[in-house]
A and B are shown apart, each in its own frame.
Chain A
Amino acid sequence: MTGTMLHATGLTHGFGHRTVLDDVTLDGAAGEVVAIIGPNGAGKSTLLAALAGDLRPAAGEVRLLGRTAGEWGARRLAGIRAVLTQQWSVEFPFTARQIVEMGCTAWSGRRPAGGVGEAVAAALAAADVAHLADAPVTAMSVGERARVGLARVLAQDARILLLDEPTAALDIRHQHHVLAVARAQAATGRLVVVVLHDLNLAAAYADRIALMVAGRIEALGDPHRVLTADGLEAAFRHPIAVAHSATGVVTVNPAARSAAAVA
């Protein structure tokens, strides 16, 4: 765990007249899971694209392990950061195994200790899709395909993982499984930045949460500090109740309008 791996400062970007990122500053350290939450259109995916190096913001810069995407170059960047996009699709009937093998193409020259086959098998197992290894992804359900995507990202063996809503299409068990995988990745000294819609998942698995509203980070810190009824109500414009269990877990629920003030 050697400090800051990701350093984004003053990110500002707009599409047309709409500002999607407004002076966003965010750090990420080794061993950390950072969740980005916020209402639809708050700029979460745009922020992730900027962190990934896909989007060059109008102002500000992103440094991964001390260098910008331009300084790394696409190939070497692929060796240090992996990205799971929200909607990826394959037009040809590649099998899950073939898709995950593609994750290994990022290894510019370096080979995993146990060989590609072993790395692929491990990634398939970790994402709970080993039983689908030889099935074509074009015949899979959205949730199965999402987990194959996760396996591909794991096979890339990068130190920084950027995941855009990896749980969106998953059942509750796999939602928790995917975030447990993210935690396990962080435990090995990686940094995981994950966009989440489910506030309870963010509460349960993230070390820090960034609450985005209208392109700005409104709150940033540990779940207890960010997940407050007042802050979430203002952000989501919906009555919200926040509860703290005896074991320290924060849970967030929609509340009746009258109850909102009490919570």
Chain B
Amino acid sequence: MTRAVAAGAPHAEEVSRRPGTLRRLRAPGVLTLLSVAVAVSAVLGLGIGAIDIPPGHVLTVLADRLLGIDTGVAVDPQHAEVLWAIRLPRVILAILVGAALGIAGAALQGIFRNPLADPGVVGASAGASLGASIAIVAGVSVLGTMTQPVAAFLGALAATMVVYLMSRRGGRTEVVTLLLTGLAITAVVEAAVGLLTSAATDQELRDLTFWRLGSLGGATWDTIAMAAPFTLMAVAALPFAARPLNVLALGEREAGHLGIATERVRAIVVVLAALGVGAAVAAAGLIAFVGLIVPHLVRVSAGPDHRVVLPASALGGAVLLLLADLISRTAVAPVELPLGVITGLLGGPFFLWLLHRTRREQGGWA
């Protein structure tokens, strides 16, 4: 039998291109940094507004009301009331919604194997708003305060499944088909929401307008009670899918060869992401681009490992929404800008830059 004489490993002499090898922050560093950023943004969000409350007073009230610790610092009772009844629910909701959108974006991008698969792009947000709108206009309230988030979840799930099934072939998501399918689904859903508006009463109309622009203005402790279970479920459970999502980056067939139950991972991740997005949209309306920008920035700074990307995207989403909400309340006070306007203004140009950079580096996604 013939066996070619094989020398040892050929000496590696070719030089590989390594563009943009960014200095990677260590994963714990990124997570710590983002956790601190969440805390700082939250204190800023609690302190700044129509009435400015110094950070020391903010912490005093929190210590008093949450932990029962009396720090001895005298705080204006009116300030304490503003903080507790208005600002704190709003800040907590910003954290919940931002975290849910950020982690859902990162997880959907992992499942679609595509960095463009933001909840807005894949139709999840639009589906959620349709679900919630139907619940409002039809006056369904079988599940009490949970009706809207559940309806939004079902809408998000349905839209995501349609886009997912239509934009994939042979285990790969075609970028053009993904974007166009998302576009088509969003158009259909918006038309349906438009139809609903014509059948809506004045109060319902106000509620519907709210979905389209996105705002944390309606945040109360009730809103939080409604959104918290679903968003926290998504934020707590999705990181457990990190390792399968990493392997899935190799391709579905390849992940299967490595023993990953791709069908099951996909189903679980899509349901969890839809839960998070549904609750976020039900509580705060359509907030664009959070799920796109945040995971991307995390990958640039900490690498693509989902064990970091998922929790860091949750933290980063919370920071982004806290700051965006702060801007929306204070930029042209006393008028409040819709949150969707702020994230759109930030996200749109960012999206263009992302497209430009990707084209320059790898000739685009097509």
Contacts and interface: CB of A to CB of B under 8 A. Distances in A.
Interface of A: 52, 54, 74-79, 81-83, 85, 88-95, 98-99, 102-103, 105-106, 108, 125-126, 128-132, 135-136, 138-141, 144, 152, 156, 173-174, 176-177, 179-180, 183-184, 203-205, 207, 222-223, 247-250
A138 B362 CA distance: 8
Most buried by B among A93, A132, A138, A144: A93
Contact of B257 (A78, A91, A248): A78
Contact of A102 (B12, B246, B362): B246
Most buried by A among B2, B17, B114, B253: B2
A90 B249 contact: yes
Interface residues of B, number: 39
B250 A102 contact: yes
Given A78-B258, A249-B2, A91 B16 contact: no
Nearest 9 CB-CB pairs, A to B?
A180-B6, A78-B259, A92-B304, A75-B259, A204-B4, A83-B257, A131-B12, A106-B258, A128-B9
Given A99-B250, A205-B3, A105 B258 contact: yes
Chief secondary structure at chain B's binding surface: loop
B305 interface: yes
B1 interface: yes
Contacts of B1: 207, 222
Interface of B: 1-4, 6-7, 9-10, 12, 14, 16-21, 113-115, 172, 243, 246-247, 249-251, 253-254, 256-261, 299, 303-305, 362
A144 B17 CA distance: 11
Contact of A204 (B2, B12, B243): B2
A144 B14 CA distance: 10
A92 B172 CA distance: 14
Contacts of A141: 16-17
B6 A176 contact: yes
A223 B196 CA distance: 72
Nearest to A78: B259
Nearest to B305: A98
Given A132-B16, A249-B2, A92 B249 contact: yes
B9 A125 contact: yes
B256 A74 contact: yes
Contacts of A125: 9
Contacts of A105: 243, 247, 258-260
Contacts of A99: 250
Nearest to B3: A183
A175 B244 CA distance: 32
A248 B12 CA distance: 31
Nearest to B264: A74
A180 B250 contact: no
A93 B3 contact: no
Contacts of A203: 2
Contacts of B253: 54, 83, 85, 88
A207 B260 CA distance: 33
